[in-house]
Chain A
Amino acid sequence: MVDIRIPIGLMFSIIGILITVFGLATMSNTEMYQKSLNINVNLIMGVLMLIFGLIMLYFARRKKKV
C-alpha cells in the first residue's frame, strides 16, 4: 500500500511553501501582524511545516530503498 508519509510530506511541504511565501510577501504589513503580537507567524509556521514535510518525505524515501 501507499506509504502515508508521502501524502503527509507532500501536503505539509506545499502548504509550508505557500505560507512561507505569503509570510515574506506580507513582511512589511505591520497592521496585519498586530494581532499576532507583531510576530510574522506565517513565516515561522511556513518554515516549520516545510521542514516537517521534508522530514516525512525523507523517511518515506529511505524506507523505500531498504
Chain B
Amino acid sequence: MKVDLSWIDYLIMIIYFIFVLGIGWFLRKYMKNANAFLEAGRSMPAWVAGLAFISTNLGALEVMGMTGSGMKYGMLTTHFYWIGAIPAMIFLAVFMMPFYYGSKARSVPEFLKLRYDEKTRGLNAILFAVMTVLASGISMFALAILMENVLGWNFNMSLWISALIVLGYTYLGGLSSAIYNEVLQFFIIVIGLLPLVFLALKDVGGWIGLKAQLAPIAQARGFAADTFTTTWKYSGSAGANPLGVEWFGILFGLGFVLSFGYWCTNFLIVQRAFAAESKAAARKVPLIGAIPKMFIPFLIIVPGIIALALSNDPGKGFNLPLSSGGGPDYNLTIIMLLKQYLPAGVLGLGITALLASFMSGMAGNVSAFNTVWTYDIYQSYIRPRTGNEEEDGKHYLKVGRIATVFGILLSIASAYIASKFGNIMDFLQTIFSLINAPLFAVIFLGMFWKRTTGHAAFTGLLAGFILALVHHGLTVPAGATTVIKGGWIANLHTYPVEMAQNFWTAIIAFTVSTTVTVILTFLTTQKKTDEELKGLVYSLTPRELNDSHLPWYERPTGLAILVSVIAIVLTIMFW
C-alpha cells in the first residue's frame, strides 16, 4: 500500500511550507499586544474570516473520516453537512452573533462570565482547554501514523515537523496568521482534491454509472438499490439505511442538538467570527462559510462513495488495507484514492492538501487554546489586569505566546499518549465532547431568556454533562468489544450502531441541561441587573440598525435566505 513520491511532489510540499511560514513571518511585526495576537485585532474582512471559519472545521480527521464515512454510508453522510451544519450556521449568524460579537467577549467562556458568573466561565474554560489539547493531539497522531504507513515517513519526524510548522506560524503571527493560513489552506484543499473527484467520477462513468454500480452492492447488504445515493429516502426506519439511525435521530440528534452544540458554541469555530472587523461582518462570517460547506461533500464524500464501488470491482484492483481490528481501515480511503488516480505532480498537490487540512485544524485548536488560557484562566485566576493597558497588552502577549508553545507541546504529548493508549484517548475525547450539547442549552437560554440565572446555568451545565456520561456508561453500541464504547457502569440498552448512541447521548445531555436550568432559574434569584445584561440578552438589546439600504447580498438575512435555498435544493436533488 506504499505510495511513492517523486521530487516534484516534495517540491510542491516545500513551496507550501515556505508560504505558510512566510505568512507568519510577515505578520509578526503587527503583533504588538495581546489583542492583536489573540483576537487578530478584530480586523478581518468577512470573506477572509468566513473561509477560515470553514477551513478550521475541515481538519485532517474531518477529511479522512468523511471520505471513510462516504464509503461506509454513502450519500447519507451528507447529513453531517446539509442538515447537520447549515441550519446551525444560519442560526449562529442571524440570531446569536449579534450578542456574541456585541458583548465584546473575547471568548465563549468570557461570554458566560458576562452573562452568568465566574464559576460558569471557569467550568467551561477548563473543560474546553483540555478538550482542545486532546483533539489536536489525536489528529496529530492520526496524521503521523498515516504518513508512516503510506509514505514511509518516520513517525516522530512527521509529528514534530508538522507541529513545529504550525507552532512557527501561530507563534509569529497569532490568530491573524492562523486565519490567513486557513484561507490559503482552504484553497489548497479544494484544488488539491479536485483532480481526484474529477478522475474518479469519470472512471466509474459519472453519477449515473456510479448509481448502477452501487445498486447490486446495496442489495447484497439487504438495502434498497439506491440506498447509497440517496439521503432521506430510507430514513423511515433505522434498519433500512446503513447509517442505522431513523429520521428523528437524524433531525433532532444530529440536525439540532449535535450540530447546534458544535457550530454555535465551540469557541474553536466561533473565534473566527469574533475576529471579524465589525458586527455586520461577524454576522456574515458563518453564512459565507456555509456556502463552500454545502459543496464540500462533493469533494470528500463522493470520492468515498466511489471507493465503495471500486472496492467491489475486482478489475480496478482497489482495496483498503485492513485495520488492526480486522475490518477495512476506512481512514485510509482518501489516501488510497489519491494513490489510485494521481500521477506525480498532482499527487504531491493531493498530499499537500491533506497536510493543509491537518494544519488548519490544528492551528484552530492552538489559537483557541491560547486565547482561553490567557484570558479565561491566566487573566482571571493567576494575574488579573493591572489597569495599565499598554503594559498589560505586552504582558498578555508574552503569556499568549508562551501558551502557544505549551499548547503545542501538550498536543505532542497527547499524540504520544494516543499512540500508546489510543483507546483511552478516544474515550476521553468522547467524554469531553459531551460538553457541547449542555453548553448550547445554557447559552441559548441565556441569550433569549433574561431571567436565566448563573446558579441555574452552572448546575444545568454540570447536570447535562454528568447525565450524558451516565447514559454513555449504561448503554452500548452493538458489537462493542471494549468498555470504551460505553456500558462501563452496566449494560441497560444496546444501540444498533455507535452513531445512534452518540445522537441519544447528546439529546439526553441537552434535555437534562435545559430542564435543570429552567427549573433552577425559578428557584434562584437573578443577580444581574437589566443594565448589566444589555447587549447580552435578546429582549434587553436595542434593535439592529436598519440595513435595508444595502443590496440583499450584503445583508445577513439576504445571505441566510440564499444559503437556505441552496441547501433545500441540494436536499431535494439527493433526497
A interface residue numbers (CB < 8 A to B): 1-2, 4, 7-8, 10-12, 14-15, 18-19, 22-23, 26, 32-33, 35-37, 39, 41-42, 44-46, 48-49, 52
Contact = CB atoms under 8 A, between A and B. Distances in A.
What's the dominant secondary structure at chain A's contact region? Answer: helix
A26 B22 CA distance: 31
Contacts of B22: 7
B203 A42 contact: no
Given A18-B8, A36-B199, A37-B202, A12 B345 contact: no
B298 interface: no
Contacts of B130: none
A59 B345 CA distance: 28
Given A35-B340, A36-B342, A36-B343, A19 B23 contact: no
A45 B187 contact: no
B474 interface: no
B43 interface: yes
A37 to B, nearest CB: 6
Contact of B19 (A11, A22, A23, A35): A11
A12 B31 CA distance: 27
Contact of A42 (B15, B23, B194, B343): B343
A32 B345 CA distance: 11
B11 interface: yes
A37 B195 CA distance: 12
Contact of B343 (A1, A10, A35): A35
B352 to A, nearest CB: 9
A2 to B, nearest CB: 5
B184 A33 contact: no
A1 B30 contact: yes
Given A2-B26, A4-B180, A48-B191, A19 B199 contact: no
A19 B191 CA distance: 13
B349 interface: yes
B510 to A, nearest CB: 37
Contacts of A18: 8, 11-12, 15
Contact of B349 (A7, A8, A15): A15
Interface in B13-67: 15-16, 19, 22-23, 26-27, 30, 43, 48
Contacts of A39: 199
B199 A14 contact: no
Contacts of B30: 1
Interface in B419-465: none
A29 B194 CA distance: 22
Given A4-B180, A19-B346, 11 more contacts: A7-B19, A7-B22, A33-B343, A35-B340, A39-B199, A41-B199, A41-B346, A42-B345, A44-B195, A45-B346, A49-B191
Interface of B: 8, 11-12, 15-16, 19, 22-23, 26-27, 30, 43, 48, 176, 180, 183-184, 187, 191, 194-195, 199, 202-203, 340-346, 349
A45 B195 contact: yes
B199 A11 contact: no
A41 B342 contact: yes
Contacts of A44: 195
Contacts of A35: 340-343
Given A18-B8, A18-B12, A8 B345 contact: no
A48 B461 CA distance: 50
12 contacts: A1-B30, A1-B43, A7-B22, A8-B187, A19-B346, A19-B349, A22-B345, A23-B345, A32-B344, A37-B199, A44-B195, A52-B191
B339 to A, nearest CB: 9
Nearest to A48: B191
A60 to B, nearest CB: 12
A7 B25 CA distance: 12
Contacts of B8: 18-19, 22
A14 B27 CA distance: 21
A45 B8 CA distance: 14
A15 B12 contact: yes
A1 B176 contact: yes
Instruction: Select the residue from A1, A45, A52 with max chain B CB neighbours within 10 A.
Output: A1
A7 B23 contact: yes
A44 B15 CA distance: 20
A14 B15 CA distance: 8
A11 B181 CA distance: 12
B14 to A, nearest CB: 11
Nearest to B339: A35
A48 B192 CA distance: 11
B345 A19 contact: yes
Given A45-B194, A45-B195, A49-B191, A36 B341 contact: yes
A66 to B, nearest CB: 14
Contact of A11 (B15, B43, B345): B15
A51 B203 CA distance: 26
Contacts of B184: 4, 7-8, 11
A48 B425 CA distance: 42
Contacts of A26: 343-345
Nearest to B8: A22
Contacts of A46: 345
A12 B447 CA distance: 43
Contacts of A36: 195, 199, 341-343, 346
B15 A41 contact: no
